[in-house]
Structure 1
Amino acid sequence: TDVSGIAQNFSASTSSEAKEDAPKAEVKDTPKAAEPVKETPKAVESQSLDTPEGRIFVSPLAKKMADEKGINLSQVKGSGENGRIVKRDIENFTPAASVAAVGKFVPSGQEDFDEKPNSQMRKVIAKRLSESKFSAPHYYLNVEFDMDNAIAFREQYNTLPNTKISFNDMVVKACALALKQHPQVNSQWFADKMRLNNHVHIGVAVAVEDGLVVPVLKFANEQSLPQINAAVKDYAVRARNKKLTPQEMEGSTFTVSNLGMFGIESFTSIINQPNSAILSVGAIIQKPVVKQGQVVVGNTMKLTLACDHRTVDGATGAQFLQTLRGYIENPVTMLV
């Protein structure tokens, strides 16, 4: 018997069984490293400010620091989340070089004033104008007249020997003629009646050192332009020298106030009661105007008529101004 084959088979069988019977290495589960816990970030405390430059987000601390330092937050660029302004932005902020730093004003003086007793004239002015303003329902009509013809007329008129008239003289004369055609504007209001005056007495406001006086041109519609000029000049001189009599400042039915010589273009006045209206006259201004479809250099003057609505309705006041315009813009008609 060939035992070598048996020996080989036995050896192979034994080796195979040994491999099967050998204890298997125990595989242990290696614990995995713990994953770091992600912390949810806390909400960042912030304030939102609405400014003309837009909405600004800023931390409370940064806002407090900015307020203390007088820093305009709209000039600070935020470095925080979404452009939020934080503490370091305020600490590092430098004002723009082009903006000059302005120091806070610290008053060094004391309040000071002088007192003087109210003159009798100021007391009368205060009393009468207050009564007029609060008792008469004022309304105002504004117009602008073309003064080119008036300027040419005055230049030609003043070439006459010993003759000198002003634009104010022309306005007074024109008002006197227009009032004859619109007696309602020449009326006066009293507690129990309305007086429609057929005569025309025009008060001319004159500034004096202590205030204002209004001498009266009696029957102004019957006076010539040179006569009006002479009377107004005389009243003005005597008013400033306190030489006017009470009778010369009584009886007006209408008033003209002119501030054009001071460069005032337009203004409103308080009615001199019991009159129903007062005309405020401004300066003659040279400016571009449209004539016959062309832009040319023209001269205009603004006037404001203050009316008492108890006696003069709006349409009546407007019609008076239309008539006045006819005389001023065509002054030769005042001589007819």
Structure 2
Amino acid sequence: MVQQIKMPSAGQTTDEARITSVKVKAGDPVKRGDILVEAETDKAILPVESYAAGVVLDVLVAEGDDVHAGDVLVAVGSEEDRKSYVRSGESAPAAPVVQAARPEPEKPAPAAGGQPIKMPSAGQTTDAARITSVLVKVGDKVKRGDTLVEAETDKAVLPVESYLAGTVLEILVKEGDDVTSGDVLMMIGSGAAAPRPAAAPAVQAPAAPAAPAAGVLDEEEYIPIIKGAAPAPRPAAPAVAKALWPAMPNAKMLARELGVELAGLTPANGVMLTRKDVRAAQAAALAAEQALPAPAAAPAEAEYEVLPMTKTREVIGRRMLESVQNIPAWQCTVNINMEACMALKQSYQEKRGIKLSYNDIMAKAIAVASRKFPLVNARCEGGEVRVYRHTNVGLAVGLEGALLVPVVKGIDTMGLEEIADKYRQVVKKARDSKLAPSDMGCGSITISNLGMFDVDQFIAIVNPPESCILAVGRIAVQPVWDGQQFQPVHMMSVTGSFDHRIIDGAYGAQFLRELKLLMENPALMLG
């Protein structure tokens, strides 16, 4: 029976994709789970696997083709099906036609017996990465699961593991290289490392040069430097005796005072050195000193340090600039009485042994408030507003030199204990650089909390394509009038930034009012 392998749904944001590689040709045997083609969506490279075993009867797409969910990509069947298979829309041929394999572009031959280790998909937002470390060298033995290289994506440092055991035959990348999904990083095989090309025969050292011709200075001779060997001492030049003329007593006295050496001076009168000769020698020495170049000044200390722009910083900057330029954002703030939330947090700690965070409680309040205000579950994608059925809340996590936003999906289906556990898991994965692509890029609203840094209030930038982000300040005691007197109350500010294409002013203000009501009365979240 002929099985049609169709394009699956590409994800939440689109059902369109582009074929980037075709892994099989007509006549190839395949089994369940074999990758037939790879398709690039707006978020990642999607491998399309076979859900049937047999023989490839027909490949209906080529690299570069645009496809949609449900399009037939490959036909798979049995050997008997090959004889009678006819592509849909074509008449049966007079004789079975075996489809010729497409010629593959000529590529450099890999190391003998080697298998390529390719760069996996880097995430939903990009397939580009930068190699930060190469952990093996040619000749190393590796086993399945060993980390070979680490690559920095826009979200995290991604360890690339070996999916086979053997010997590293060739390494095709180095630290600092930019790579994309599908690039070959290294070759691994069962044998020894491929031999390098034989070195060219050593060139015989030339004979020692003959003595320099007359008139060539000794300083112009070339002395080869051999690593590890001390240079041969240069023979000292024979000392040249300096002429010593007789000098007048007053000339000798003046020479001692001025520090002028009489040896080598020639008297102007040709008979005896005089005071005039001594002064002339001193003037010549001073002129020679002034003619010498001034000693080089010590290099000035650099006024600044240049930090490399990492891939993560580049992507953060690009996405934030995209938000500021493309999203008509507006903001408003509410102040929330946190006494009830603090009591709830303490009660869970004392009676259930569970440590809740205020972010956990706020995420639950967002999910409950979204029942009345579903646009907080919306994302602006592909020129349209998509309102999702469940509440997916991201949490901004600051790391050394990076900012990640792991997302917990389906908050509206969870209780506080489960929400707290899920956030603990994704935050730990973020700090350990182990976030999977499915843990990011799928939220509709984000919580950004800087209260632990004593920040009272701030404005956060909407994370596209989400509809809003909540900037949470610190909890501080403030005087609040209860109608009769001022009472000390723990208060917290929450500033919402909203995408005006999705959420208008009145709608956003009502949502924040509902959020304030729920957090000041947590029992209402049970309804």
Name the TM-score class by shorter chain.
Answer: 0.5 to 0.7
- The question of whether the paired residues in 1 share the 8 Å contact of 2:327 and 2:500 is answered with yes
Match of 2:399 in 1: 208
Question: What's the secondary structure of 2:448's corresponding residue?
Answer: strand
CA distance in 2, matches of 1:241, 1:201: 22
Counterpart for residue 292 of structure 1: 483
User: How far apart are residue 313 of structure 1 and its match?
Assistant: 0.3
Asked if 1 retains the 8 angstrom alpha-carbon contact of 2:337 and 2:492, the reply is: yes
Residue of structure 1 in register with 2:502 after alignment: 311
Tell me the equivalent position of 2:320: 129
Look up the match of 2:333: 142
One-letter code of the match for 1:169? D
User: Would you say the 8 A contact 2:451–2:472 is kept in 1?
Assistant: yes
Q: Unaligned 5+ residue runs, structure 1?
A: 1-108
Alignment partners' CA distance in 2, 1:110 and 1:210? 26
**In structure 1, distance between residues paired with 2:383 and 2:309:** 33
Structure 1 range deviating more: 303-312 or 152-161:
152-161
Q: Which is richer in strand?
A: 2
User: Aligned equivalents of 1:189 and 1:238: distance in 2?
Assistant: 28
Residues 309 and 187 of structure 1, relative CA distance in 2, 3 Å threshold: same
Instruction: State the TM-score, normalizing by the size of structure 1.
Output: 0.65
8 Å Cα contact 1:286-1:297 kept in structure 2:
yes
Q: Which amino acid aligns with 2:429?
A: R
* Aligned residue runs from structure 1 range 50-65, under 5 A: none
**Distance in 2 separating the partners of 1:239 and 1:260:** 20
Q: 2:340 matched to 1:119?
A: no
Where 2:350 maps in the other structure, the secondary structure is coil
Distance in 2, Cα, partners of 1:225 & 1:302: 22
Deviation of residue 192 (structure 1)? 2.4
Distance in 2 (alpha carbons) for counterparts of 1:159 and 1:332: 18
Q: 1:176 aligns with which of 361, 364, 367?
A: 367
For residues 243-254 of structure 1, the aligned pairs below 5 Å read: 243-254=434-445
**1:1-336 equivalent positions in 2, closer than 5 A:** 112-336=303-527
Q: Percent identity?
A: 36
Secondary structure of 1:159's partner? helix
How far has the Cα of 1:131 moved from its partner? Answer: 0.1
> Is the contact made by 1:180 and 1:200 (CA closer than 8 Å) also made in structure 2?
no
Deviation at 1:162, TM superposition (A): 2.9
Contact 1:209 1:240 in 2 (8 A): no
The separation in 1 between residues aligned to 2:340 and 2:481, in whole angstroms, is 15
Cα distance in 2 for residues equivalent to 1:215 and 1:309: 24
Unaligned runs of 5+ in 2: 1-299
Q: Secondary structure at the match of 1:180?
A: coil
Cα displacement string for residues 162-214 of structure 1 (whole angstroms, at most 9, x for unaligned residues): 32211111111111111232112221113421112221111111111121000
Whether the 8 Å CA contact 1:153–1:332 is kept in 2: the answer is no
The 8 Å contact of residues 334 and 513 in structure 2, kept in 1 or not, is answered as no
Contact 2:393/2:409 (8 A) holds in 1: yes
Alpha carbons 1:180, 1:198 under 8 Å: kept = no
Q: What amino acid sits opposite 2:441 in the alignment?
A: E
Deviation for aligned residue 1:151? 1.4
Structure ranking higher on relative contact order (CA contacts 8 Å, 6+ apart): 1
Partner Cα separation in structure 2 for residue 215 and residue 284 of structure 1: 24
Structure (1/2) with the larger helix percentage: 1
Secondary structure of the residue aligned to 2:351 is: coil
RMSD after superposition: 1.4
